[in-house]
Structures are given as C-alpha cells and as structure tokens.
Amino acid sequence: MAKVTVDGKVVEVPNDANALEACRAAGVDVPHFCYHPRLSIVGQCRMCMVEVEGVPKIQASCTVPVRDGMVIKASTEKALAARNATMEFLLINHPLDCPICDQAGECKLQDNAVGAGLPVSRTSEPRRQFPGYDRTPIGPHVIADMTRCIQCTRCIRFCEEITGTGELTFVERGGHTFVWTHEGRALDNDLSACAADVCPVGALTTKEFRFRKRVWWLDKTRSVCDGCEIGCNMSIEHRDRIVYRTLPRVQPAVNDFWMCDYGRFRAEDLNRQDFLKPEIRVAGSDARKQTNWGEALDVVKIAIDRARNEEKNIASKGRVLVLGSARLTTEENWLLKTLFEDSLKVGTPEFVVDKGPKRRIKNKVDGWIYGTEAAPNSRGCEAAGLKRNRPGDGSALDLLLSKKSFSSSSPAVLYIADAAFTERANDLEFVLLLRQASVLIVHARVKNALTDAADIVLPSAPLSGKEGTFVNAKGRVQRVDTAIMSPPVVRTDLEILLHLGGRWDLLDTRWTARDVFENMQASVAGYEGLAWDSDAVVGNPPSISPAAAYDVLGLERDPDVEVFSRPSVAAPDRRS
C-alpha cells in the first residue's frame, strides 16, 4: 500500500493504483472519460488533470502511478482550469441536442459539463458532422452516432481487451477521427451491448432500449440474470410496471461490469404475462375456465388429497409427482420440498435442467467463467433438497418420461411449479408424456404446449415480480428483489405455495421470502450464517449510469455517490 496525500487528505491505496484512483479513494472526484477500471490506461481524454507535487507539468491523473509519499493537488486553480479547457474542447464539436439524445440523464459529458464546464460557449465555428456515420446500426444490438463520439476509445478497448474480438477501431485521424467497425465487420460478439454501456456519451446506444424511456424516469431494482447459472448481477430498470431494460450491476466476483447480450435482452420477455387469473378445467370439457384463487387452490388440494389417499390404499409410490424448477428461487424450491416431501409425504420433488448454449462472462478474479445450463438455480434446487433428474435413474419422472408407464402407475397428480421448466414444454410429444398424469397442475406465466394441456393453471409472476435467492455456478447466494408488482391476482410462486400449504395449515401464509430464507437456512447447504440483508447476498446497488466506472479496487467508497462534485463556492444570487 502507498500513502498518498490528496488535497491534504492522506489515503492508503494499493501500489498499482493510479493518481485518479487515489483521488477517488480520498473522496475527491476527478472527472474523467477514458479511464475505466477494467480497461487499459490510455490517458487520452485529458479530463482528469491534476497537479502532482514535484512534477512541473500538469498531469492526467490516470496515467500517473502512485508512489508512497506522493502529493496530489486535485483542486488547484491550474487543475480546474485544465479540466475547463478539456471540457471546452470536447463541447466545441459535440451536438447540443441533449433533449433529443437518448443518453441524456446518464451522460458523463453532461455530468462533467455541470461539474467542470464553462458557462458559455466561445466557439462560433460550424460543428463537425460525420455524414454516413450517424444513427447507424453497427451490429445486431448497437447503434452508433459518431457526431456524439468523444473519442475516448473505451469501446475499442472493450472489444480488444475484454471480449478479445477487436471489431472496433479508430478511422481517420485528427479532428476527423471516429470509431467504427473494421471494414466488413459488425460489432457482433456475445457481449456487444457492453460497448454501449462503457460509452460515456450517446455515441453507442442499444437498439432495444433506444428512445423507449427517458432514463431519469426509470426505477432501478437489484436483480440477478436468470439466463444461465453464472448469475450475473443486474439491475432491472422499470417504470409503471413495465421493464424497459436490464443493465449489469457491478459484481467483481461474478460478472464484474459486464453482462452478455442474451441475458441483457431477456428484459423484453419480463413484460409478458399470458395468465392473469387461475384457470381450472371444466369437468368433461376441453376448455378451462377462469376462477379465483380460493377455488383453484381448493381444487388442487382435493386432487392431491385424493391421490395421497389412493397412495395409502394401493401403496404405490409416485402417485403425486412434484417438479420444481431451476428457474425458481431456492426459497420456492425449498417450500415445494417442505410441503410435499416433509409434510404431505408424497416423495421428493424433482427438477430438470436444460443444457443451454455456452454463455460466458469475464471477471478479474476468474477470467472467463462459463454457464452451460439454461436456468440460474440448479445448485439452489439441489441445496434445497430437490432431486436432479437424470435420464435412466429410475425416478418417478424418469418412468413417466420413458414411455414405459402407460398404466395405472402413472401419477394421479403431476404438480409442476414452473410450466417453462424446460424447452421441451413446447414439444407436444413431451407434453403428452407428462399428460399421462390424471391431473396436471402448473404454475405459469407464459403460454406453451404444456399450459395448453394442463388442467389447472396458477398464474405466477416473472423474475421482475419476485424476491428470493439464486445459487450461482460458484455457489454464491445472490438475492433478487421485487422490481414491479405483478397485476392483481397474479401471485409469485412463493405466495402460491404458501397459500397452498395454508390449505392444510402446514405453511404460514404470512411469510415473506425473507422468512422462508431464514427458516430454511439451517437445512440448506451454502446458506448457513448468511444474512438476507448482507452485502454478500445483496451485491452492489445499481449504478446511476451504465458508463459509471466507480472504483472496485477494494477502496472504501459508496458507489451511490457518483460523478462530479462542485467546489463549494456559493452561486451568486441571480434574482437581483
């Protein structure tokens, strides 16, 4: 560690830190554009100018490695004048159309113009244009507008250093320099939208979110991506019960600053809610009717009780088969197990995990980490005591799926806590196998072949509408929070299970996810000693701007306090 003095305040920072990081550690905000904690230092935006004692010339603080005893003067007149100068240079050619720029509100140029800009413009020259290079898609997700570019090269370095794909480059030189893809290439890699995240201005934006909502109207809620078992921390950004986008939430141990395009653009799907009310099959008909929760849960209870009684009579196992899901939280899966196995004694719930395409994300600790499952929580399911289905293992589900059991030994009740637990839920042959059960009960949000075949459909909330925890590939317990309340009548899977248990007086319907978490801790491996509210479980708060590169070097800093700080000089009274 090196002891560094910043504006009179002494801080200790790691030896490999630079002066900019030392300033941030000392709580002195030095505005910057090209610096990013995970990208190489290029020192070319010249925004983070500070004075260093003993060095005659002004220095870009990100390019100055700290050394013990260094004295940094970040707020001298000379340093502030230098930043003013850089701001002025950046703004002489930048369009002044913030009201119609999609980056407005989370734009570092805007922020820094408030903190370090001049109050007036001194230029009267025509502004630079990039005909043919504005508002153009450069890949499947990213739209580039070079009139807004400030040439910080964060996106170029991201593609070179993080994804290693190197699609982007500088073209031309001098004042005509702009960023574009290499001849004949597209910005098409599995993390491409992160290039738009690191862009401090509106030069790169994502097609999916562009012009859909002003960012200052979005509420941000902590969540975890459910695309695969890596469990990238993300924030769900929503307003008026609509999810507009998801952004990576910094988590150095998992996804760092990044998130893959697949996970990011699942946001759209979170708004889908095909089932708004419970539905039960009309006796002797192919149709289902909508009903209320009271009737629906009563019917479920009757069906299960009948099967249990049968079971006692004919002493055959597996008359009630319960399927959990690796797409549900550990709390929900644990409730399934508690209710059906421990209390109702109908056997261990099973779960199926689809192999998905290989997903990957990079962090500084592990390098690339990979996800191969199409669900976020198979480890949580196992920890909760569910049985992972493996073809040929002779389990009840295996028998059902092996087509050998078109007989009286088929389950009387098949209870599926997530109708989309596998891709094959849309496969009619597969559904037919499941349909061998006399009564098919599913929790569902999205219509598929399985819900079409079900007798009872219980409407459940999407990821954005629930809270609970997932266990990721590294065994890390991570919490998701409720971003939006689902429409009335739609319930989270947790609530459905609690109320179902309540029908037998087996579960306390007043429980929240937190209560479940605390009750299951003792019996679930990996949850011992964790607190629902602990930082480890909750993760970092959403950042104010996706381009915000707040410090993650282990230096004490509240990431919510962001960007610029104005010197404490009172503004003159403008009323006089």
Residue of 84, 273, 290, 372 interacting with other proteins (CB under 8 A): 84
Q: Which amino acid is at 85?
A: A
CB 412 within 8 A of CB 307: yes
Does 565 bind other proteins (CB under 8 A)? Our answer is no
Q: Which is nearer to other proteins, 128 or 281 (CB)?
A: 128
Does 571 bind other proteins (CB under 8 A)? Our answer is yes
Q: Which is nearer to other proteins, 293 or 564 (CB)?
A: 564
Q: What minimum distance in Å lies between the beta carbon of 176 and other proteins? A: 7
| CA 83 and chain centroid, separation | 34
Residue of 7, 27, 71, 80 interacting with other proteins (CB under 8 A): 80
Nearest partner of 128 among 100, 147, 109, judged by Cα: 147
Residue of 54, 99, 176, 184 interacting with other proteins (CB under 8 A): 176
**Angle, alpha carbons 303-306-309 (nearest 5°):** 150
Does 539 bind other proteins (CB under 8 A)? Our answer is no
Q: Which two tokens stand for residue 18?
A: 């630079």
Does 173 bind other proteins (CB under 8 A)? Our answer is yes
| x/- map, 36-65, other proteins, by CB under 8 A | -----xxxxxxx-x-------xxxx--x--
Instruction: Give the integer Cα–Cα distance in Å for 91 and 127.
Output: 10
Does 567 bind other proteins (CB under 8 A)? Our answer is yes
Q: What minimum distance in Å lies between the beta carbon of 196 and other proteins? A: 21
Does 81 bind other proteins (CB under 8 A)? Our answer is yes
| DSSP states along 77-110 | HHHHHHHHHHHHHHHTTS---GGG-TTTTS-HHH
Instruction: Give the integer Cα–Cα distance in Å for 188 and 184.
Output: 12
Q: Which two tokens stand for residue 569?
A: 């000089």
Instruction: Give the integer Cα–Cα distance in Å for 132 and 320.
Output: 64
Return the range that interacts with other proteins (CB under 8 A); candidates 7-15, 428-436, 537-545, 566-574. Answer: 566-574
Strands 456-459 and 439-444: parallel
Nearest partner of 83 among 117, 54, 119, judged by Cα: 117
Instruction: Give the integer Cα–Cα distance in Å for 262 and 357.
Output: 10
Q: What minimum distance in Å lies between the beta carbon of 397 and other proteins? A: 57
Q: What minimum distance in Å lies between the beta carbon of 262 and other proteins? A: 32
Q: Which is nearer to other proteins, 84 or 521 (CB)?
A: 84
Does 2 bind other proteins (CB under 8 A)? Our answer is no
Residue holding tokens 């500084």?
A: 364
Dihedral of alpha carbons 222, 226, 227, 231, sign: positive
Q: What minimum distance in Å lies between the beta carbon of 48 and other proteins? A: 11
Does 575 bind other proteins (CB under 8 A)? Our answer is no
* CA count, 13 A, side-chain hemisphere, 217: 11
Residue of 101, 150, 234, 414 interacting with other proteins (CB under 8 A): 150
Residue of 54, 488, 572, 573 interacting with other proteins (CB under 8 A): 572
Residue of 7, 12, 88, 551 interacting with other proteins (CB under 8 A): 88
Does 576 bind other proteins (CB under 8 A)? Our answer is no
Q: Which is nearer to other proteins, 116 or 484 (CB)?
A: 116
Rounded to 5 degrees, φ, ψ at 508 are -90, 110
Instruction: Give the integer Cα–Cα distance in Å for 327 and 374.
Output: 8
Q: Which is nearer to other proteins, 88 or 188 (CB)?
A: 88
Strands 439-444 and 413-416: parallel
Q: Going along 208-262, which residue ranges are E strands?
A: 219-224, 233-239, 242-248
Q: Which amino acid is at 148?
A: R
Return the range that interacts with other proteins (CB under 8 A); candidates 84-92, 302-310, 347-355, 387-395. Answer: 84-92
Instruction: Give the integer Cα–Cα distance in Å for 96 and 109.
Output: 11
Q: What minimum distance in Å lies between the beta carbon of 574 and other proteins? A: 10
Residue of 82, 296, 328, 513 interacting with other proteins (CB under 8 A): 82
Instruction: Give the integer Cα–Cα distance in Å for 91 and 283.
Output: 71
Q: What minimum distance in Å lies between the beta carbon of 56 and other proteins? A: 8
Residue of 99, 125, 284, 488 interacting with other proteins (CB under 8 A): 125
Among positions 243-272, residues that touch other proteins (CB under 8 A) are none
Residue of 69, 175, 294, 475 interacting with other proteins (CB under 8 A): 175
Q: What minimum distance in Å lies between the beta carbon of 18 and other proteins? A: 11
Does 85 bind other proteins (CB under 8 A)? Our answer is yes
Return the range that interacts with other proteins (CB under 8 A); candidates 110-118, 237-245, 424-432, 548-556. Answer: 110-118
Instruction: Give the integer Cα–Cα distance in Å for 67 and 202.
Output: 36
Does 123 bind other proteins (CB under 8 A)? Our answer is yes
Contacts of residue 494, Cβ cutoff 8 Å, sequence gap at least 6: 329, 331, 332, 335, 466, 468, 513, 516
Q: Which is nearer to other proteins, 175 or 475 (CB)?
A: 175
Q: Which is nearer to other proteins, 151 or 329 (CB)?
A: 151
Does 7 bind other proteins (CB under 8 A)? Our answer is no
Q: Which two tokens stand for residue 192?
A: 């491409």
3-state secondary structure of 460: strand
For residue 529, give Cα distances in angstroms to 380, 476, 517, 520, 523. 16, 13, 11, 11, 11
Q: Which is nearer to other proteins, 59 or 448 (CB)?
A: 59
* Contact residues for other proteins, defined by CB under 8 A: 41-47, 49, 57-60, 63, 77, 80-82, 84-86, 88-90, 92-93, 116-126, 128, 150-151, 169-170, 172-177, 567, 569, 571-572
